[in-house]
């Protein structure tokens, strides 16, 4: 996140160009590689997807999201969410993401995965959260969200 005189608070996200979520605006991130911690993966993924450098010490653990796909259990995933107000570099497109800054008050939820509208406001408000998101049979719509 950053604060600008023109827009106020903004969040860095991007238009997905390949793979899972293609065509959607997504938060930056991805899979934890063997031997990596989740925070190391976050640092690597942010750089790979946007060219922006964040440091482990600057990442704040914002929460977790467990995704449950009853129609495709092999897609179930556990995610760790971080936020940072410190970074280096300007976002540049990668083969996977076209990054851009979005005003916090104008997050394009309609262009994102439907679950984002449930947990992303917690991230942007600076709160810690743990959530379980259960998807509907179409593997996109949200059947339920439970915060603990």
Per-residue confidence in pLDDT tens, the chain, 148 aa = 777 656 678 999 999 999 989 999 999 999 999 999 999 999 999 999 999 999 999 999 999 999 999 999 999 999 999 999 999 999 999 999 999 999 999 999 999 999 999 999 999 999 999 999 999 999 999 999 999 9
Domain that holds residue 130: 2-147
Length of the chain: 148
In the chain, the largest separation of any two C-alpha atoms, in whole Å, equals: 46
Q: Phi first, then psi: give them for residue 43, nearest 5 degrees.
A: -60, -50
| CATH number of the domain that residue 25 is part of | 3.90.79.10
Tally of domains within the chain: 1
Of 88, 90, 89, 66, the C-alpha closest to 77 is 66
Q: Phi first, then psi: give them for residue 76, nearest 5 degrees.
A: -50, 140
């Amino acid at each position: 996140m950053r604060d600008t005189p023109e827009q106020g608070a903004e969040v860095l996200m991007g238009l997905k160009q390949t793979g899972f979520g293609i065509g959607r605006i997504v938060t930056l991130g991805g899979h934890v590689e063997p031997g990596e911690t989740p925070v190391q993966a976050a640092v690597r993924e942010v750089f790979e997807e946007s060219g922006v450098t964040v440091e482990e010490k600057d990442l704040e653990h914002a929460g977790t999201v467990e995704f449950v796909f009853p129609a495709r259990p092999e897609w179930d995933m556990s995610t760790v969410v971080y936020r940072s107000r410190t970074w280096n570099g300007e976002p540049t497109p990668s083969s996977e993401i076209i990054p851009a800054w979005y005003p916090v008050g104008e997050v394009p939820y309609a262009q994102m995965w439907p679950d984002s509208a449930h947990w992303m406001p917690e991230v942007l408000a600076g709160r810690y959260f743990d959530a379980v998101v259960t998807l509907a049979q179409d593997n996109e719509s949200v059947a339920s969200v439970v915060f603990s």
